[in-house]
Chain A
Amino acid sequence: MANFRGRGSARYFSILPAFLFLALLSALPLFNLFALSFAEVSWSGGQSTWTWVGLNNYLALGSDALFKAGILNTVILVGVATTAQVTIGLMLALACSRVGRRSRIYRTLFLLPILIPGIIIGAIWRLMYNYQFGVVNQIIDLVGLGPVDWLGSSSLALMSVIIVDIWHWTPFSFLLLLAAVEALPRDVSEAAQIDGASKWTEFRRISLPLLWPAIFTTFVFRAIIAFKVFDEVYLLTGGGPGTATEVISFTIYQRFFTQDNPGYGSAMSVTVIFIIAAVIAVAMTRQRSRSQ
């Protein structure tokens, strides 16, 4: 029996491939990215030369209007879209749980947007938002409004992108929250009803506090994914008009690849990774101190 858990060489062989991927394809490239952020790369005859530039790449971030716009727009998008998704998702989850079996078809349908490629979502909405023939303008035309240039107007473009993100990811919030709603104890709400509590009081005083951890988790989960938004923006607006829908993943891509400036792009990537890590660390400590 003693030999069972150790299992000799099998123990090492089973973990080796995962370790190689961890070391060679994630730790090494990230380390390389870090080193690259202190350099400038130039190409001549298929050979790259690194010139060390110290903190210059990082210092340049401060005066980069595109970087500032990218951060600001991403924060707005994450805040607005995530709040809307969790709110609507919770309403849908409560509704589905209440009507029970009759909601089965809806539970299936709501999965669809989660599984479709983000780039296709971008393509679909780009056609629907089209100024000339898009269905969105056709519908508001029925009530005598429009046409509106949803993606071309700098005051509306970010909102249009946020609407697409809400449409795309509300189902995911719904799914996570549905699992939590279905796990609520029934006897507590029955007791509250017998005591004469109204539906609203029961929800606010009993269900909502019980659901709070799940709501927090869903919010954090969604915010992390929303921060990476790239695909839809790439197809809908390409960051425009101007910098109206510039999001941070897009800025990194442009600096790194479109402008072929790996050193500067790396410095931006490293900064973003640090910002995310800091935000997560703060959120976790807050949550921990609250639950204690």
Chain B
Amino acid sequence: MSTRRKQNLSVDRALLGFLFLAAVLTIGPFLWIALASFKTQIALLMGTVKFTPVSMNYDEVLFGNTSTFARNFLNSVLVASASTMAAMTIGFLAGYSLLRLRWPAWVVNLFLLWAVVFNLVPPVTLAGAWYELFRGIGLSNDTVALILAHTTLHLPMALWLLSSFLREIPRELEEAAFIDGASFVKTLWRVVIPIMMPGLVSTGILVFIFSWNEFPVALALTNNTSATVPVGIAKFAQENEIKYTQMAAASVLSAIPALLALLFGQRYIVKGLTAGAVK
């Protein structure tokens, strides 16, 4: 038995080593870009290992006259918040309705099919269709257009996730509330929503992050004033002389929502990502 235990210990040690290596490879690029964002362009180009950190890249990206990053950041906050709120509200109501309010099977299947098909279609193909639509109704390059597009893009995911969380709630609670005379809205607000708070948080975090990260549709539907963060970052790469260190600083700033979500909500993220895929 003791040789077996020793064997097990050395196997564990090897596995921990493997995991450590994978973690280094995962985190390394982020650390490298964070270091690069505090270098001067010359220090980066020379490949200096020891350098004095400077904050000029962040100053330039956030407050520089030619930089649009601060504006992009505000646009992203607006688009991601508004489309998350919309997708959550609409998805929650529809999910509840489909699960609990006795719709015929074909209606439920229609929405289910929509959610599945929507996940198969590359967003670029929709970007073209939306571009034509919004140009037709005079909303081209408008933030409202992007909010509507992002809501549509993430509504199937919200509907799918929220339905899977709703299914875990026992029906009897709602029926009891109804018997006690609670209205439809009151039942949702006082009974259903408090119980499924963790599921709502999971869905909300994921939808926000997905909207924050979304690139092709934002690229197609925005101009200089309405551009979001990913569109702004992409512009760095298209200039004749790429300002590498500023691109690094902008990248670090754009990762803020992801880092916050990871610090405070990783439990919810795991729940959301696995619920979406497994069920």
Contacts and interface: CB of A to CB of B under 8 A. Distances in A.
B105 interface: no
B15 A95 contact: yes
A117 B229 contact: yes
Nearest to B158: A18
A117 B215 contact: yes
A115 interface: yes
Interface in B80-139: 89-91, 93-94, 96-98, 100-103, 107, 110-111, 114, 117-133
A114 B277 CA distance: 14
Interface stretch (B61-69, B194-202, B258-266): B258-266
Contacts of B251: 120, 123-124
B230 A18 contact: no
A269 B215 contact: no
Contacts of A14: 93-94, 96-97, 101
B24 to A, nearest CB: 10
Majority SS at the chain A contact face: helix
Contacts of A172: 273
A98 interface: yes
A51 B239 CA distance: 37
Given A98-B12, A167-B25, A269 B94 contact: no
A224 B120 contact: yes
Interface residues of A, number: 92
A115 B206 CA distance: 9
Contact of B93 (A15, A99, A110): A15
A115 B261 contact: yes
Interface of B: 11-12, 15-16, 18-20, 22-23, 25-27, 29-30, 32-33, 36, 44-47, 89-91, 93-94, 96-98, 100-103, 107, 110-111, 114, 117-133, 148-149, 151-152, 155, 159, 175, 178-179, 184-185, 209, 212-213, 215-216, 219-220, 229-230, 233-234, 236-237, 244, 247-248, 250-251, 254-255, 257-258, 261-262, 266, 269-270, 273-274, 277-278
